[in-house]
């Protein structure tokens, strides 16, 4: 009988969650928080440039899928031809880089990789051929309430030109 009671107490002690080793939470490393500055609801505006008329819209950035994915929902309004786009971004630990996939209602698709670069956050477009132009997005001038986003192009990957600059203002 004593053996049975001892076995029951041992089984209960081992089953106690306080005694079990906690598995690490996925996406909890500090690298997974490097893009958190972008989270929130933003009013966005831009000046006339490269065939895009001046305009304004909204961008809502949230964490999804167990806090592993950052989802962007962009609405450029009528000045962009009613451009609506979505991106998903995540820190890909095996590469040690961020990855982002962008799609939109005008047939646009971009696959980007990158991460923090000094005071900026830069994601470079994967080129589909050697003749394809270089493209990248740059987040800079980042504060709690604002940031600047630049879509840039380059013929050689060294000298960059702004193609579209969006000013972000966080909604209260």
- Structure confidence by residue, pLDDT tens digits, 60-104: 999 999 999 999 999 999 988 899 999 999 999 999 999 999 999
Q: Which of 56, 55, 57 minimizes the C-alpha distance to 75? A: 57
- Determine contact, residues 58/64, Cβ cutoff 8 Å: no
- Do 40 and 170 touch, CB atoms closer than 8 A? yes
The range of the structural domain enclosing residue 88 comes to: 35-170
Whole-number Cα distances in Å, 26 to 32, 35, 143: 10, 16, 27
Tokens of 147: 């940031």
Query: Is 22 inside any structural domain?
Result: no
Residue 161 lies in a domain: yes
Whether 16 maps to a domain, the answer reads no
Q: What region, left, alpha or beta, does residue 148 occupy, with left being phi > 0 and alpha being psi -120 to 50 degrees?
A: beta
Contact 112, 55 (CB under 8 A): no
Question: Is there a domain that residue 83 lies in?
Answer: yes
pLDDT at residue 8 is higher than 50: no
- The stretch 140-157 carries a mean pLDDT of 96
Q: Is residue 28 part of a domain?
A: no
**pTM recorded for the entire structure:** 0.84
d(CA 49, CA 41): 24
Question: Own/partner pairs for 108-116, CB < 8 Å, 24+ apart?
Answer: 110/135, 112/136, 112/137, 115/34, 115/91, 116/34
Quick check: is 9 in a domain? no
Q: Identify whether 11 is part of a domain.
A: no
Assess if residue 155 is contained within a domain: yes
* Structure-block tokens of residue 144: 């709690």
What is the number of structural domains in the chain? Answer: 1
* Model pLDDT, residue 131: 84
pLDDT interval class at 18 (50, 70, 90): low
Instruction: Report the C-alpha gap between 72 and 69 in whole angstroms.
Output: 10
| pLDDT (0 to 100) of residue 127 | 83
Residue 154: give its domain's CATH number.
2.40.128.20
């Amino acid at each position: 009988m004593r053996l049975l009671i001892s076995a029951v107490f041992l089984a209960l002690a081992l089953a106690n969650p306080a005694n079990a080793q906690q598995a690490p939470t996925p996406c909890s490393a500090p690298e997974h928080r490097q893009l958190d500055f972008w989270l929130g609801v933003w009013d966005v505006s831009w000046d006339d440039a490269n065939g895009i008329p001046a305009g304004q819209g909204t961008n809502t950035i949230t964490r999804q899928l167990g806090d592993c994915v950052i989802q962007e929902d962009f609405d450029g309004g009528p000045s962009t031809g009613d451009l609506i786009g979505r991106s998903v971004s995540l820190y890909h630990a095996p590469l040690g880089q961020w990855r982002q996939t962008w799609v939109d209602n005008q047939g646009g698709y971009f696959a980007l990789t990158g991460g923090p670069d000094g005071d900026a956050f830069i994601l470079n477009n994967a080129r589909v051929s050697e003749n394809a132009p270089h493209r990248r997005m740059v987040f800079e001038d980042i504060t709690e309430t604002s940031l600047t986003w630049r879509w840039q192009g380059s013929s050689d990957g060294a000298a960059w030109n702004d193609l579209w600059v969006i000013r972000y203002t966080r909604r209260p």
